[in-house]
Amino acid sequence: MVYRQVVRRALFRLHGGDAERVHETTLGVLARLSPLAKVSAAVRHPSLERTVFGVRFPNPVGLAAGLDKDGRALPAWPALGFGFVEVGTVTRHPQPGNPRPRLYRLRASEAIINRMGFNNEGAQELANRLERLGGLSVPLGISLGKSKVTPVERAVEDYRASLRALHRHGDYFAINISSPNTPGLRGLQDRAALTELLSALNEEMAALGARKPLLVKIAPDLTDAAIGELLQVCAEHRVDGLIATNTTLSREGLAPADRALAEQAGGLSGRPLAARAREVVRFVSRETAGKLPIIGVGGIAGPDDAKRMLDAGASLLQVYTGFIYEGPGLVRRINKSLIP
């Protein structure tokens, strides 16, 4: 309540309400507070621990990719209670992303529209930062994407180069082929393109001498038939898990007060995505007989949302937009609710 009524209100007014500048300021503060990370708010209980795709997680609530793309505040996230952190999406080449403004809060809907465009400092700079950090107290996932300057027909080498640069630092790697904000990217979800990409990344893993779990992040806008075909490719190419879902191009479920902002281009996240994200998780779990681990993400804004996502078949959870609207206490509330 303190966060929602005082802190959030102040943050949303900061910088004249410029959402991206507020985001950058908050990350900067968290980065400076990182030395205090030993003062942890994490909820610890044996029932929260789980091993998924061979990785041990102290609790199932993770930070989704996109909030700390370049890993600037990494030590702070475990201190806030997260059981794992996913950085990125990172690309082979540094890139500024799409023109600003590109991040919008839809407050009445507790949603966000973004068209960031994978703005990041590049895979090598992230590798350098992780090298200096020397490790994290919770598992680290790294989301890989295609550089905008790289033609789609050369995307495979782009992903391979990023994997080579970051391989030793990640506990798992997420292949982002589902963001709506990079031209042509979602085409990589098609059978032929995905087959080529996964074959190349498995080959790269073998050359690097140590296989790390490989996950595919999918769009909520795919039909069941398209998801089914994608799952066949994943089964054929030793994919260790799925992240469901990315942001959506749909504008269903928005409050009337947010209709004007709904015209903005970009991917929508937050409460309006919750039902569709659960549908996709449920479909994937059913189609794979529960054998393919799923990280459920989309519209998780409280303990009830988290439980519904787990009941749908998710093994782990990620939050982003819910964290923006509910604050750091969200992670603690979810974890406490999961203790029998």
Residues 6+ apart with CB under 8 A from 132: none
Any binding-site annotation on 253?
A: no
Any binding-site annotation on 66?
A: yes
User: 137, exposed or middle or buried, with CB in 10 Å at 0-12, 13-18, 19+?
Assistant: middle
User: Which candidate in 179, 269, 285, 315 is catalytic?
Assistant: 179
CA atoms within 13 A on the CB side of 298: 31
Any binding-site annotation on 336?
A: no
Would you say 106 and 113 are in contact if contact means Cβ atoms under 8 Å apart? yes
Any binding-site annotation on 251?
A: no
| Three-state DSSP state, 240 | coil
Any binding-site annotation on 89?
A: yes
Any binding-site annotation on 288?
A: no
Any binding-site annotation on 91?
A: no
Any binding-site annotation on 320?
A: yes
What tokens were used for 9? 């209100």
For the chain, report the end-to-end CA distance as a whole number of angstroms. 25
Q: What is the CA radius of gyration of the chain?
A: 18
Any binding-site annotation on 217?
A: yes
Is 179 noted as a catalytic residue in this protein? yes
Any binding-site annotation on 199?
A: no
Task: Give 217's strand partners.
Answer: 176, 243
The span from the CA of 312 to the CA of 285, in Å, is: 8
Any binding-site annotation on 299?
A: yes
Any binding-site annotation on 67?
A: yes
Identify which of 73, 90, 189, 75 has the alpha carbon closest to the alpha carbon of residue 143. Answer: 90
What residue type is assigned to position 223 of the chain?
T
Distances (CA, A) of 292 to 168, 244, 275, 339: 24, 12, 21, 24
Any binding-site annotation on 69?
A: yes
Instruction: Indicate the annotated binding residues for substrate.
Output: 69, 114-118, 176, 181, 246-247
Question: Annotated active-site positions, please?
Answer: 179
Binding site, by residue number, is 65-69, 89, 114-118, 143, 176, 181, 217, 245-247, 270, 299, 320-321
Annotated binding site for FMN: 65-69, 89, 143, 176, 217, 245, 270, 299, 320-321
